Amino acid sequence: MNLRSIIISLSLQADGAVKKLLLTTDQELVVVTETMVIGQFKVEADGGVRETSRVKLSTRMKENHLEWMMTEASICLAVSSGDLTVRVWNLKTDENFVLGTSGPVAVGGAGGHFITGLAYSTGKKILAAGTNNGKVLMWQNLSTAAFAQESGWRNLPRSTVEGAVRSVVWDGAGGDVCAINTVRQVTISAL
């Protein structure tokens, strides 16, 4: 480890503990801290690390849910914090948009409901969100060209499980199977 790497890790530690890490194929390191500071770094050929950007996201709750979503052209971070919406931030362009819900579970955490977990299937291009009242919300990307735009996504029919959702996970073999974990059970959904 060189001195530059040590300095980067110390400066990030001052922003809070690391919550999520991503190392892209083009040698970019993205770090999200628990205080929602997002740092982007370029890993140099000599092993050094150069900071390229740093931003602090404003969130409603201390407990935030994050998920990476990537295509060849975009690296996006999906963030949910205290309601039933997901903000998608394109790390390459700094543009962002909100994926909301429609129907009885309206945007804004109606009735104290909020997202408790996020998972993205690269194979199906579906972002799934579990809620504290047992709803599973899903959005599907319709176009790689519009991946990082709100118009490129559509709401899918929501489903319900018994109990608060603790986590949502897609299988690693293409994302055809989604597991929804509640306090009492795990529900497997094949799409």
pLDDT, tens digit only, all 191 positions of the chain: 444 554 555 455 557 788 888 888 778 888 888 888 888 888 888 877 888 888 887 776 667 888 988 887 788 889 998 888 899 988 888 888 999 876 444 444 456 789 999 999 988 999 999 999 999 999 999 987 777 788 889 999 989 999 999 999 998 767 789 999 998 899 998 87
153 neighbors 133 (Cβ within 8 angstroms):
no
Q: What is the pTM of this model?
A: 0.80
| Tokens, residue 145 | 């060209």
At 78 the pLDDT is 92
Give the list of residues 6+ apart from residue 41 with CB closer than 8 angstroms, or none.
8, 28, 29, 30, 31, 49, 50, 51, 52
Could you tell me which CATH class the domain 62-190 is placed in? mainly beta
